[in-house]
Chains A and B, each alone.
Chain A
Amino acid sequence: DVKVTQSSRYLVKRTGEKVFLECVQDMDHENMFWYRQDPGLGLRLIYFSYDVKMKEKGDIPEGYSVSREKKERFSLILESASTNQTSMYLCATLTPPYEQYFGPGTRLTVT
């Protein structure tokens, strides 16, 4: 059973803080993803990685960076948090070509 875990379910940060969201998977999947989900906008891809130390920009990478030092761990970094980054953040892995496994999500509030 694939498991994708995220470090926090709820997080409150202040504007300007550097924020780290951690994601760990236990199924040896190559591909990992970070999305944000907002009402009316659906899932938007921030970054993805198809191998260790490899990363690709998604549709909305501005204000974010990622790190993948080990295959099982994919981190999302908000360099300087802003209120418009308040959102639900979802990490996922992929068994190509169609099965995506999601973590439970981190609801981030930036005040």
Chain B
Amino acid sequence: QKEVEQDPGPLSVPEGAIVSLNCTYSNSAFQYFMWYRQYSRKGPELLMYTYSSGNKEDGRFTAQVDKSSKYISLFIRDSQPSDSATYLCAMSFGYSSASKIIFGSGTRLSIRP
């Protein structure tokens, strides 16, 4: 079983729709939960992060973490064609000299005008 599971999609929704992207994980020691966005032919970029459980909002984007269910979500409100990208969830254990990040496989999202 992978440490982080993510539905690869693709997911196609009309402009203006609410998008929900999700990941599950198996290791309860994860402390930081991130979402990265990757446009075509580019490297991923950090979109949002959350420490421990709870919600975090940034403009049209909301990240949710439910540690009891080992489940994280990213919601995009009023989706735009410019949101079309691959979204990767990611997790880390916290500060350490040999830190590394565990990534999901990514969900490809397409917003139709």
Contact = CB atoms under 8 A, between A and B. Distances in A.
Interface stretch (A12-20, A61-69, A73-81, A100-108): A100-108
A97 B95 contact: yes
Given A42-B88, A45-B100, A100 B36 contact: yes
Contacts of B93: 97
B106 A42 contact: yes
Interface stretch (B41-49, B65-73, B76-84): B41-49
Interface string A26-50: 0000110100000011110100101
Interface in B24-45: 31-32, 34, 36, 41-45
Interface residues of A, number: 26
A58 B98 CA distance: 12
B105 interface: yes
B101 interface: yes
A98 B46 contact: yes
A50 B49 CA distance: 22
A100 B106 contact: no
Sort chain B's interface into a size bin: 20 to 34
Contacts of B1: none
Contacts of A51: 97
B99 A97 contact: yes
A90 B43 contact: yes
Contacts of B104: 42
A45 to B, nearest CB: 7
A43 B99 contact: no
Given A40-B105, A97-B32, A102 B96 contact: no
Interface string B6-40: 10100000000000000000000001101010000
Interface of A: 4, 30-31, 33, 40-43, 45, 48, 50-51, 56, 58, 90, 92, 94, 96-100, 102-105
Interface of B: 6, 8, 31-32, 34, 36, 41-46, 49, 88, 90, 92-101, 103-106
